[in-house]
Amino acid sequence: MTLATFKRSFGHGPRKALAIHCTLAHSGAWRNVGEALADDLTMLAYDLPSHGKSADWDGQGNVHDVATDMARALLTEPMDIIGHSFGATVGLRLAIENPELVRSLILFEPVYFAAALADDPQGVTSKMGSNTAFNAAYASGDMMEAARVFNTGWGDGSGWEKTPEKLRQYMADRIHFVPASQPFLRDDSAGLLEPGQFARATMPVLLMDGATSGNLADAISTSLQKRLPNVTRRAIGGAGHMAPLTHPVAFADEVRTFLART
């Protein structure tokens, strides 16, 4: 059963898009991108389970399945899908499982570790350096420290000490979402890496990275690039993992150029 889903819209353009945010954010993270693309897209954004104003996940089943079912219920017609990080992995899954509902796919640094691990398990494991500190904090029950480690590795680079206390608490309250995501992100619980699955995603795909992001993001995108049949890869100059928030205009410019060709 699909969780109660909070959603909001940005823009008034002729193309309908669905935007899916990253872990520990909420649908409002798309505001600046949505405003920059207001004449191009009518963008629907929803809150992931246990995020924003959507209902809390009860811990039963696979949280990626829940998040994907929430998105699938919003695809009433073929739409452009835009995803960031975890949200990009939901978009990727929809493109493979329901290609008839995905007109185009725009991914920014999808954290689908499984693809890179399948190609280079030793090398990718060595790049996941912050995992030990995160796992230790989480296992000890120190959710605030776990959130700090996660934010340091995947945040916008502004520094945990500059993060407002309310936002720190928001992240700590939802940090359980990170280990709960691993059955899909690391272990491919949906079986997307099985033979023939990626070939189903024949729609145009824009795969983007931040130019200052680390080797892990590049390894994942390289693995996806070789599997997707119709993919364009771009980098956003000066940006890291949080480019949709830190560089929304540059992000929107890449999207606009891509959509003009599709």
**Average pLDDT in the chain:** 95
Q: What is the pLDDT of residue 2?
A: 78
Look at residue 1 and tell me whether its pLDDT is greater than 70.
no
Look at residue 104 and tell me whether its pLDDT is greater than 90.
yes
Angle of helix 165-173 relative to helix 143-154, nearest 10 degrees?
100
Q: What is the pLDDT of residue 101?
A: 98
Q: What is the pLDDT of residue 129?
A: 64
Q: What is the pLDDT of residue 130?
A: 58
The span from the CA of 197 to the CA of 232, in Å, is: 19
pLDDT per residue over 193-232, tens digit each?
A: 999 999 999 999 999 999 999 899 999 999 999 999 999 9
The span from the CA of 17 to the CA of 105, in Å, is: 10
Please spell the DSSP secondary structure of 177-238, one letter per residue.
Answer: HHHHHHHHHTT-TT-TTSTTSGGG--S-EEEEEETT--HHHHHHHHHHHHH-SSEEEEEETT
Average pLDDT over residues 11-38: 98
* Residue (of 16, 77, 67) closest to 46 by Cα position: 67
Q: What is the pLDDT of residue 189?
A: 98
Query: 261 is written with which tokens?
Result: 């060709």
Is residue 193 within 8 Å of residue 114, measured between CB atoms? yes
Give 126's pLDDT tier (boundaries 50, 70, 90): confident
Percentage of the chain modeled with pLDDT above 90? 88
* CATH superfamily of domain region 7-125+181-260: Alpha/Beta hydrolase fold, catalytic domain (3.40.50.1820)
Q: What is the pLDDT of residue 244?
A: 97
At 10, is the secondary structure helix, strand, or coil?
Answer: strand
pLDDT per residue over 230-259, tens digit each?
A: 999 999 999 999 999 999 999 999 999 999
Give 154's pLDDT tier (boundaries 50, 70, 90): confident
The model's pTM is 0.96
Instruction: Say which DSSP state 55 is in.
Output: P
Percentage of the chain modeled with pLDDT above 70? 99
Burial track 229-248 (b if 16+ CB lie within 10 A, e otherwise): eebbeebbeebbbbbbbbbb
